[in-house]
Protein backbone atom coordinates (compact mmCIF):
# COMPACT_ATOMS: atom_id res chain seq x y z
CA UNK A 1 0.00 0.00 0.00
CA UNK A 2 1.33 3.44 -1.01
CA UNK A 3 0.54 6.29 1.37
CA UNK A 4 1.26 10.00 1.19
CA UNK A 5 1.18 12.01 4.41
CA UNK A 6 0.48 15.72 3.99
CA UNK A 7 1.37 17.78 7.05
CA UNK A 8 2.72 21.13 8.18
CA UNK A 9 6.42 21.80 8.50
CA UNK A 10 7.32 22.39 12.16
CA UNK A 11 10.40 23.91 13.81
CA UNK A 12 11.93 20.40 13.84
CA UNK A 13 10.78 19.57 10.31
CA UNK A 14 8.34 16.67 10.33
CA UNK A 15 6.28 16.56 13.53
CA UNK A 16 7.42 13.69 15.79
CA UNK A 17 3.94 12.11 15.92
CA UNK A 18 3.76 12.10 12.10
CA UNK A 19 7.20 10.51 11.85
CA UNK A 20 6.23 7.92 14.47
CA UNK A 21 3.07 7.00 12.55
CA UNK A 22 5.09 6.77 9.35
CA UNK A 23 7.56 4.37 10.99
CA UNK A 24 4.74 2.18 12.32
CA UNK A 25 3.34 1.84 8.80
CA UNK A 26 6.75 1.06 7.33
CA UNK A 27 7.08 -1.81 9.82
CA UNK A 28 3.92 -3.29 8.31
CA UNK A 29 5.28 -3.11 4.77
CA UNK A 30 3.63 0.10 3.55
CA UNK A 31 5.39 2.61 1.33
CA UNK A 32 5.05 6.03 2.97
CA UNK A 33 6.10 9.44 1.68
CA UNK A 34 5.65 12.78 3.44
CA UNK A 35 4.87 16.13 1.82
CA UNK A 36 5.48 19.04 4.20
CA UNK A 37 3.70 22.35 3.66
CA UNK A 38 5.32 25.58 4.80
CA UNK A 39 2.49 27.64 6.28
CA UNK A 40 3.86 31.10 5.55
CA UNK A 41 5.25 30.36 2.09
CA UNK A 42 5.55 33.17 -0.44
CA UNK A 43 4.58 30.76 -3.20
CA UNK A 44 1.51 28.74 -2.13
CA UNK A 45 0.55 28.00 -5.74
CA UNK A 46 3.99 26.51 -6.35
CA UNK A 47 3.61 24.22 -3.34
CA UNK A 48 0.14 23.20 -4.45
CA UNK A 49 1.35 22.30 -7.95
CA UNK A 50 4.22 20.26 -6.48
CA UNK A 51 1.75 18.40 -4.29
CA UNK A 52 -0.54 17.69 -7.25
CA UNK A 53 2.40 16.47 -9.35
CA UNK A 54 3.55 14.17 -6.54
CA UNK A 55 0.10 12.64 -6.02
CA UNK A 56 -0.39 12.00 -9.74
CA UNK A 57 3.13 10.71 -10.47
CA UNK A 58 3.31 8.28 -7.54
CA UNK A 59 -0.28 7.01 -7.83
CA UNK A 60 -0.82 6.69 -4.09
CA UNK A 61 -3.60 4.51 -2.68
CA UNK A 62 -4.30 6.99 0.13
CA UNK A 63 -3.47 10.64 0.74
CA UNK A 64 -3.62 11.21 4.50
CA UNK A 65 -3.74 14.80 5.76
CA UNK A 66 -2.78 15.69 9.32
CA UNK A 67 -4.93 18.74 10.22
CA UNK A 68 -7.93 20.12 8.36
CA UNK A 69 -5.92 22.91 6.70
CA UNK A 70 -3.81 20.41 4.76
CA UNK A 71 -6.87 18.43 3.75
CA UNK A 72 -8.06 21.52 1.89
CA UNK A 73 -4.69 21.65 0.14
CA UNK A 74 -5.24 18.08 -1.00
CA UNK A 75 -8.77 18.89 -2.21
CA UNK A 76 -7.39 21.76 -4.28
CA UNK A 77 -5.14 19.36 -6.21
CA UNK A 78 -8.34 17.99 -7.82
CA UNK A 79 -6.99 14.44 -7.78
CA UNK A 80 -9.12 11.30 -7.44
CA UNK A 81 -6.98 9.51 -4.83
CA UNK A 82 -8.83 8.41 -1.69
CA UNK A 83 -8.49 11.01 1.05
CA UNK A 84 -8.16 10.50 4.81
CA UNK A 85 -8.14 13.35 7.31
CA UNK A 86 -6.73 13.23 10.84
CA UNK A 87 -8.13 15.95 13.07
CA UNK A 88 -5.45 17.01 15.56
CA UNK A 89 -7.50 18.98 18.08
CA UNK A 90 -6.76 22.61 17.30
CA UNK A 91 -8.87 22.29 14.14
CA UNK A 92 -11.96 20.45 15.40
CA UNK A 93 -11.82 22.00 18.89
CA UNK A 94 -10.81 25.50 17.80
CA UNK A 95 -8.06 27.71 19.20
CA UNK A 96 -8.71 29.36 22.60
CA UNK A 97 -7.69 32.75 23.94
CA UNK A 98 -5.93 33.25 27.29
CA UNK A 99 -9.24 32.81 29.11
CA UNK A 100 -9.95 29.49 27.42
CA UNK A 101 -12.67 30.90 25.15
CA UNK A 102 -12.65 30.04 21.45
CA UNK A 103 -11.17 32.78 19.25
CA UNK A 104 -12.62 33.98 15.93
CA UNK A 105 -9.94 31.96 14.14
CA UNK A 106 -10.84 28.99 16.32
CA UNK A 107 -14.50 29.25 15.35
CA UNK A 108 -13.44 29.42 11.70
CA UNK A 109 -11.40 26.23 12.13
CA UNK A 110 -14.39 24.48 13.68
CA UNK A 111 -16.57 25.58 10.75
CA UNK A 112 -14.22 24.40 8.01
CA UNK A 113 -13.71 21.14 9.91
CA UNK A 114 -17.41 20.40 9.46
CA UNK A 115 -17.57 21.64 5.86
CA UNK A 116 -14.84 19.29 4.63
CA UNK A 117 -16.42 16.08 5.92
CA UNK A 118 -18.41 15.23 2.75
CA UNK A 119 -15.24 15.47 0.63
CA UNK A 120 -12.97 12.97 2.43
CA UNK A 121 -13.43 9.21 2.46
CA UNK A 122 -12.05 8.58 5.94
CA UNK A 123 -11.87 10.61 9.16
CA UNK A 124 -9.60 9.96 12.14
CA UNK A 125 -10.12 11.59 15.53
CA UNK A 126 -7.84 11.15 18.53
CA UNK A 127 -10.45 10.59 21.25
CA UNK A 128 -14.11 9.79 21.86
CA UNK A 129 -14.52 13.38 23.04
CA UNK A 130 -13.52 14.57 19.57
CA UNK A 131 -15.83 12.09 17.85
CA UNK A 132 -18.79 13.66 19.63
CA UNK A 133 -18.04 16.81 17.61
CA UNK A 134 -18.40 14.96 14.30
CA UNK A 135 -22.00 15.16 12.98
CA UNK A 136 -23.76 11.79 13.24
CA UNK A 137 -24.13 11.20 9.46
CA UNK A 138 -20.31 11.01 9.18
CA UNK A 139 -19.70 8.59 12.05
CA UNK A 140 -19.65 5.57 9.72
CA UNK A 141 -16.45 6.80 8.09
CA UNK A 142 -14.89 8.02 11.34
CA UNK A 143 -12.53 6.06 13.59
CA UNK A 144 -11.13 6.93 17.02
CA UNK A 145 -7.41 6.28 16.77
CA UNK A 146 -4.95 8.06 19.08
CA UNK A 147 -1.32 8.37 18.10
CA UNK A 148 0.68 5.40 19.29
CA UNK A 149 3.78 5.37 21.48
CA UNK A 150 7.13 4.00 20.35
CA UNK A 151 7.81 1.63 23.25
CA UNK A 152 11.34 1.05 21.95
CA UNK A 153 12.18 4.74 22.47
CA UNK A 154 10.05 5.60 25.50
CA UNK A 155 10.77 3.38 28.50
CA UNK A 156 11.88 3.92 32.13
CA UNK A 157 15.49 5.05 32.49
CA UNK A 158 17.72 6.09 35.37
CA UNK A 159 16.87 9.63 36.49
CA UNK A 160 20.42 10.54 37.52
CA UNK A 161 21.91 9.43 34.21
CA UNK A 162 19.26 11.30 32.22
CA UNK A 163 19.76 14.53 34.17
CA UNK A 164 23.50 14.25 33.68
CA UNK A 165 23.04 13.85 29.93
CA UNK A 166 20.85 16.99 29.80
CA UNK A 167 22.86 19.02 32.34
CA UNK A 168 19.87 19.27 34.68
CA UNK A 169 20.46 19.66 38.45
CA UNK A 170 20.16 16.37 40.29
CA UNK A 171 19.05 17.84 43.62
CA UNK A 172 16.01 19.80 42.36
CA UNK A 173 12.41 18.81 41.81
CA UNK A 174 11.99 19.02 38.03
CA UNK A 175 8.61 19.83 36.48
CA UNK A 176 8.60 19.07 32.76
CA UNK A 177 6.46 21.21 30.45
CA UNK A 178 7.02 20.19 26.82
CA UNK A 179 4.56 22.48 25.04
CA UNK A 180 5.38 25.82 23.47
CA UNK A 181 5.20 28.29 26.41
CA UNK A 182 4.07 31.06 24.02
CA UNK A 183 1.13 29.02 22.67
CA UNK A 184 -1.95 30.36 24.47
CA UNK A 185 -3.70 26.99 24.23
CA UNK A 186 -0.91 25.33 26.24
CA UNK A 187 -1.72 27.66 29.17
CA UNK A 188 1.84 27.77 30.50
CA UNK A 189 0.82 30.82 32.54
CA UNK A 190 -1.10 28.54 34.92
CA UNK A 191 1.97 26.46 35.71
CA UNK A 192 4.31 29.44 35.98
CA UNK A 193 2.08 31.41 38.37
CA UNK A 194 1.45 28.33 40.51
CA UNK A 195 5.15 27.57 40.89
CA UNK A 196 5.86 31.24 41.62
CA UNK A 197 3.31 31.09 44.45
CA UNK A 198 5.12 28.12 45.98
CA UNK A 199 8.29 30.21 46.08
CA UNK A 200 10.40 27.08 46.54
CA UNK A 201 13.97 27.28 45.17
CA UNK A 202 14.10 23.49 45.09
CA UNK A 203 11.48 23.37 42.33
CA UNK A 204 12.49 24.02 38.72
CA UNK A 205 10.36 24.14 35.57
CA UNK A 206 12.02 22.60 32.51
CA UNK A 207 10.69 23.90 29.16
CA UNK A 208 12.78 22.28 26.40
CA UNK A 209 10.58 23.38 23.47
CA UNK A 210 11.62 23.04 20.70
CA UNK A 211 13.62 19.93 21.52
CA UNK A 212 15.04 17.32 19.15
CA UNK A 213 12.61 14.36 19.32
CA UNK A 214 15.42 11.95 20.18
CA UNK A 215 16.02 13.82 23.46
CA UNK A 216 12.41 13.67 24.67
CA UNK A 217 12.72 10.24 26.38
CA UNK A 218 15.61 11.62 28.44
CA UNK A 219 13.66 14.74 29.43
CA UNK A 220 10.67 12.67 30.53
CA UNK A 221 12.85 10.32 32.58
CA UNK A 222 14.61 13.32 34.14
CA UNK A 223 11.35 14.75 35.47
CA UNK A 224 9.69 14.31 38.84
CA UNK A 225 6.40 15.11 37.13
CA UNK A 226 5.15 15.92 33.63
CA UNK A 227 2.55 18.73 33.58
CA UNK A 228 0.00 19.51 30.88
CA UNK A 229 -2.18 22.60 31.41
CA UNK A 230 -3.81 22.98 27.97
CA UNK A 231 -7.30 24.32 27.37
CA UNK A 232 -7.86 21.83 24.51
CA UNK A 233 -6.06 18.74 23.19
CA UNK A 234 -6.93 15.79 21.01
CA UNK A 235 -4.83 12.95 22.42
CA UNK A 236 -1.65 14.57 23.77
CA UNK A 237 1.41 12.48 22.96
CA UNK A 238 3.39 13.71 25.95
CA UNK A 239 0.92 12.04 28.33
CA UNK A 240 1.26 8.66 26.63
CA UNK A 241 5.03 9.00 26.44
CA UNK A 242 5.19 9.86 30.15
CA UNK A 243 3.04 6.82 30.92
CA UNK A 244 5.42 4.63 28.88
CA UNK A 245 8.30 5.98 31.01
CA UNK A 246 6.38 5.52 34.29
CA UNK A 247 6.72 9.24 35.03
CA UNK A 248 4.13 11.02 37.20
CA UNK A 249 1.56 13.22 35.48
CA UNK A 250 -0.62 16.21 36.31
CA UNK A 251 -3.00 17.32 33.56
CA UNK A 252 -6.10 19.31 32.83
CA UNK A 253 -9.09 17.24 31.73
CA UNK A 254 -8.51 17.41 27.97
CA UNK A 255 -8.71 14.90 25.13
CA UNK A 256 -8.32 11.31 26.30
CA UNK A 257 -6.01 12.07 29.25
CA UNK A 258 -8.48 11.01 31.96
CA UNK A 259 -9.11 7.73 30.16
CA UNK A 260 -5.40 7.01 29.71
CA UNK A 261 -4.31 7.72 33.29
CA UNK A 262 -7.39 6.33 35.06
CA UNK A 263 -5.62 3.17 36.30
CA UNK A 264 -2.23 4.78 36.87
CA UNK A 265 -1.00 5.65 40.36
CA UNK A 266 0.56 9.02 41.23
CA UNK A 267 -1.08 10.74 38.25
CA UNK A 268 -3.85 13.31 38.56
CA UNK A 269 -6.42 15.39 36.70
CA UNK A 270 -6.80 18.97 37.93
CA UNK A 271 -10.34 20.31 37.74
CA UNK A 272 -9.44 23.98 38.15
CA UNK A 273 -6.56 26.26 39.08
CA UNK A 274 -7.62 26.28 42.73
CA UNK A 275 -6.55 22.70 43.36
CA UNK A 276 -3.49 22.78 41.11
CA UNK A 277 -1.11 24.07 43.77
CA UNK A 278 -2.14 21.41 46.29
CA UNK A 279 -1.95 18.64 43.67
CA UNK A 280 1.50 19.78 42.55
CA UNK A 281 2.91 19.73 46.09
CA UNK A 282 1.34 16.34 46.76
CA UNK A 283 2.66 14.81 43.53
CA UNK A 284 6.21 16.07 43.97
CA UNK A 285 6.34 14.38 47.38
CA UNK A 286 5.06 11.01 46.16
CA UNK A 287 7.29 8.07 45.12
CA UNK A 288 9.03 8.75 41.85
CA UNK A 289 7.65 6.13 39.42
CA UNK A 290 4.16 5.06 38.35
CA UNK A 291 2.70 1.90 36.83
CA UNK A 292 1.70 3.74 33.66
CA UNK A 293 3.55 1.60 31.12
CA UNK A 294 1.59 -1.56 31.85
CA UNK A 295 -1.68 0.34 31.40
CA UNK A 296 -1.08 1.58 27.83
CA UNK A 297 0.23 -1.50 26.06
CA UNK A 298 -2.73 -1.19 23.69
CA UNK A 299 -1.24 2.14 22.51
CA UNK A 300 2.00 0.58 21.26
CA UNK A 301 2.67 2.25 17.90
CA UNK A 302 2.99 -1.14 16.20
CA UNK A 303 -0.59 -2.03 17.20
CA UNK A 304 -1.87 1.41 16.23
CA UNK A 305 -0.15 1.04 12.85
CA UNK A 306 -1.99 -2.23 12.18
CA UNK A 307 -5.34 -0.62 13.08
CA UNK A 308 -4.58 2.29 10.75
CA UNK A 309 -3.83 -0.06 7.85
CA UNK A 310 -7.12 -1.88 8.45
CA UNK A 311 -8.88 1.49 8.31
CA UNK A 312 -7.13 2.37 5.04
CA UNK A 313 -8.36 -0.93 3.58
CA UNK A 314 -11.90 -0.09 4.65
CA UNK A 315 -11.61 3.31 2.93
CA UNK A 316 -10.32 1.69 -0.27
CA UNK A 317 -13.14 -0.84 -0.33
Are domains 2-148+300-316 and 159-298 of this chain identical in fold?
yes
The Cβ-side half-sphere exposure at 23, using a 13 Å CA radius, reads 17
* 90 pLDDT above the threshold of 90: no
- Give pLDDT tens digits for 115-133: 999 999 999 999 999 999 9
Please count the other Cβ atoms lying within 10 Å of the Cβ belonging to residue 60: 21
Q: Phi/psi zone of residue 17: left (φ > 0), alpha (ψ -120 to 50 degrees), beta?
A: alpha
- Give pLDDT tens digits for 263-315: 999 999 998 777 899 999 999 999 889 999 999 999 999 999 999 999 999 99
Cα(248)–Cα(220) distance, integer angstroms:
9
Q: What single DSSP character describes residue 43?
A: -
* 204 pLDDT above the threshold of 90: yes
Q: Specify the CATH number of the domain 159-298.
A: 3.40.50.2000
Looking at 87-202, which runs of residues are DSSP E strands?
122-125, 142-144, 173-176
- Does CATH number 3.40.50.2000 belong to domain 2-148+300-316? yes
Instruction: Provide the residue ranges of all domains of the chain, joining segments of one domain with +.
Output: 2-148+300-316, 159-298
Amino acid sequence: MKILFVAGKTVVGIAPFVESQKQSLLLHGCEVDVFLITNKTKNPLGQLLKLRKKIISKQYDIVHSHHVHYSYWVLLTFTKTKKVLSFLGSDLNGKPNKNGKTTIKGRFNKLISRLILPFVQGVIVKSERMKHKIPLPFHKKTIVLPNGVDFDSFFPMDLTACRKKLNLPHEKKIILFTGNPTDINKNFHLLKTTVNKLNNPEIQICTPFPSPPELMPFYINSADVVVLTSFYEGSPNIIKEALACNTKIISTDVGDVKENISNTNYSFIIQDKNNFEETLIQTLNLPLKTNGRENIKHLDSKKIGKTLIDFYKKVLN
